Structure 1
């Protein structure tokens, strides 16, 4: 599901230039689910935008303040409201006076296994962006691209001047995105992936992992991976009949770090809900499923 990682591979708190308009600062929150940590992006040269300010961590906020270096901050944008992405928005806004805009607020109890994936209940945007809405500064324009699936409120942001896309957790540079019901939705996720295939972005800047060149090839591969997983689930149900999700995970995720099995089970559940909506599977009670 994901390669091994060494948090020392990338330094935290250091601004790194990725393009004339894009710099990143890595937050000190590595984990099996965040890889080397959350990457906050600073867009622009004179007045800037900050994308996914990350966790409310004093060292990370100090690093962002140093990276901004006194320049005006036009806006603080959040792709979604998981705790590793948006909590620093409020203190950074207090420090810079910049408005917090982007995704809609969303607070609900997530019964999945990812402690880091809980929603940020304190996120309060000044403005919510709809698909296609733009925000701009000197030499840069960011357009919102609605990409529900990982969460229902997930947005990507397109940097029009460089044909770049800040892909948040929708497309990451190290692993597939976890789709965890009740808010994560596999049907929406696949629809959003199809939308990205129709775009002409030349690079993705994900919230976790390295920049993605030739992104449409990766998107096609990720969609193919999901279709293969769907096929595995259907074959399992056809062979075994009424089945529990942990039994599916044990067979389909052999060799995967057991710490990730809970998250894998959430993705299997998301597939099953999608299959149920298409009339191919149905729940039988007590978390078990069968072919319809």
Structure 2
């Protein structure tokens, strides 16, 4: 979801120009891409599936359970050997296609582990992340620093929890590139939806990626992230400003998420209101954990919130 209300000077410059779905294309010497035509306000023009290497290849994020997209990926690598099916995280627009691709090829699914929540459900709470894929069962779970190798290519796993708690990015050192999944995207901010996601973990993962040396990020949706250090710094500033805006609304007397969303997401389309509420909820959950906001019991989407101390 694009979240550009009240941008700070250091905020990222989002790229609204989206690549076309359904077209196989070479985007670098080692990378080919096909975007699944599952475009929506939450997926841009669709899920980016990447083929890495030549002759012996890996496919990253085969996408949703779309047989036509899987067939097109296999056509892209006709005459080559598929060595690994790699998954960044367990959302239904990224991981179910791995099972379809495995059924066609017998190739192992590697990468992120099964879906896991950031915390247990609170009393009366239901799971809010309807996009989760609970059926993902990889053949091999990769952890920080583990590598896959092929002729002329390497994929190194980087743990980046937050959007989901099992989220992985993958570095391609031969091209100083990073497959950033849904953690960093050029077209939009990332939805963080408790209890499956965690704003605190997301911010820590942003700090981690900001220290890396890659010169381009290839995300799960939209076009590439150029100058990623600057862009990630801007994402962090954007989130900090959003937190400040939320604390400001609490200081002004707002007490629930609906009122806060109406005040700080002015002009937001009705179809995105739910996502905005989840984003505010994630920030409030983090603020409660840090002792900056109070609520009765555990944070809830329908909870009542009060400021602790002055808004900053």
- Whether the TM-score (by the shorter chain) exceeds 0.5 is yes
Counterpart in the other structure of 2:2: 2
Counterpart in the other structure of 2:140: 127
Q: Gaps spanning 5+ residues in structure 1: where?
A: none
Cα distance in 1 for residues equivalent to 2:292 and 2:105? 52
Counterpart in the other structure of 1:68: 77
Report how far residue 111 of structure 1 moved: 3.3
Counterpart in the other structure of 1:266: 278
Report how far residue 93 of structure 1 moved: 1.2
Report how far residue 121 of structure 1 moved: 2.2
Report how far residue 204 of structure 1 moved: 0.2
Q: Gaps spanning 5+ residues in structure 2: where?
A: 4-16
Q: Aligned residue pairs: how many?
A: 284
TM-score, normalised to structure 2's length? 0.87
Identify the match of residue 187 of structure 1 among 196, 200, 204: 200
1:200 counterpart = 2:216: no
CA RMSD across the alignment: 1.8
Cα distance in 2 for residues equivalent to 1:202 and 1:44? 19
| Secondary structure of the structure 1 residue equivalent to 2:201 | helix
Structure with greater proportional helix content: 1
Cα distance in 2 for residues equivalent to 1:190 and 1:91? 33
Counterpart in the other structure of 1:166: 179
Question: Larger deviation: 194-203 or 91-100?
Answer: 91-100
Alignment check: 8 A CA contact 2:67 2:100 kept: no
Identify the match of residue 177 of structure 1 among 190, 194, 197: 190
| Structure of greater relative contact order (alpha carbons < 8 Å, 6+ residues apart) | 2
Identify the match of residue 102 of structure 1 among 108, 111, 135: 111
Alignment check: 8 A CA contact 1:13 1:64 kept: no
| Secondary structure of the structure 2 residue equivalent to 1:88 | helix
Counterpart in the other structure of 1:253: 265
TM-score, normalised to structure 1's length? 0.93
Alignment check: 8 A CA contact 2:55 2:80 kept: yes
